[in-house]
Amino acid sequence: MLVAMRQLLDEAAKGGYGVGAFNVNNMEQIQAIMEAARETCSPVIVQASRGARSYAQDRYLYHLMLAAAELYPDLPTVLHLDHGNSYETCKSAIDMGFTSVMMDGSLMPDGKTPSTFEYNVDVTQKVVAAAHAKGVTVEGEIGVLGGIEDGHGAGGTGLEHVTDPEQAAKFVELTGVDALAIAIGTSHGAYKFSHKPDGAVLKMDRLIEIHNRLPKVHLVMHGSSSVPKELQDIINQYGGKLRPTWGVPVEEIQLGIRNGVRKVNVDTDNRLAMTGAIRKVLFETPEKFDPRDYLKPAREAMKQVVAQRMTQFGQAGHAADYQPIPLAVVAARYAAQ
């Protein structure tokens, strides 16, 4: 069944591992994630952005996830809203059946303009109240990520609005969020860094400082695709024109996991894998026209990346550690707090 993300993150904290959160837009991506989770015996966070909800339509996505929960009953599975831009967006996801939502109040409802701390607290408080009443998890964000993806983001390098540890502590206290996304120099999209990131552009010291201040808070790393060169090379080998770029090294993500990161967002790596596989099929066999001929290899390529990340983040082997808790029970626990 679909479960609250809070349960997965609490268990990850107990086990000292992270859980990958993988974005989806269609059936093949959901299938790739669920098969990778089955192979690695991993708990699962599947997330959909506002762009994905518009592209695929909510009912399609929701029922695809119900099918996934039915086909993989032994895997604790979360359906998460990525970067909700307003109370209304989050409430629509809660009412639809999402088991976790992100209220990104670091930006105004246009999804581009950095907000004030006061606005962020106010809108996040409202989402927490609505979500917790139904046992749904809430992720908030303090600080602003760089880049733009699916039309969401302030642009820039990611260093313009790095999270302030004091504000982070106050934000958690005032809102009661279950998880906290922080800005440490990462960006959305493929073009994160112009060279292998060092302490000047990827502020892992800030992450560690926040964790030391908030040791019991589940931290979230956004924009954490590693953008492997081999995936870029496949695309370019078969007609693509990607510029050289660097993502977040896996070893830096693992350092984050050792310092309180429990949710790691990955999207670009999977897009690269699928696109490379599709380009290869169409380049080598231009006579092909059946979508299954290129979507099957694309699905397999994404599955391999997801399985690798699940292993690297430490979640592999942990799906059977605990029994899923119904949302109604989670809601009662929130009410009793």
Report, as residue numbers or ranges, the catalytic residues. Answer: 82
Burial of residue 118 (number of CB atoms within 10 Å: 0-12, 13-18, 19+): exposed
Listed residue (129, 149, 151) closest to 138, CA to CA? 129
Question: DSSP H helical segments within 201-337, as ranges?
Answer: 204-213, 229-237, 250-257, 268-284, 291-313, 327-336
What is the CA 254 to chain-centroid distance, rounded? 16
State both tokens at 314: 């430490």
For the chain, the first-to-last Cα distance in angstroms comes to 25
State both tokens at 133: 């009443």
- Provide the sign of the torsion angle of the four alpha carbons 39, 97, 15, 256, taken in this order: positive
DSSP type of residue 162: P
Query: Which runs of E-coded beta strand occur in 56-158?
Result: 77-84, 100-103, 137-142
DSSP type of residue 196: S
* Residue showing tokens 């629509």: 92
Cα angle at 14 between 10 and 15, to 5 degrees? Answer: 115
**Cβ pair 170, 163 in contact under 8 A:** no
Report the SS3 class of residue 181: strand
- Provide the sign of the torsion angle of the four alpha carbons 336, 171, 90, 119, taken in this order: positive
Burial of residue 92 (number of CB atoms within 10 Å: 0-12, 13-18, 19+): middle
**Cβ pair 334, 132 in contact under 8 A:** yes
- Residue 159 CA to residue 257 CA, distance in Å, equals 21
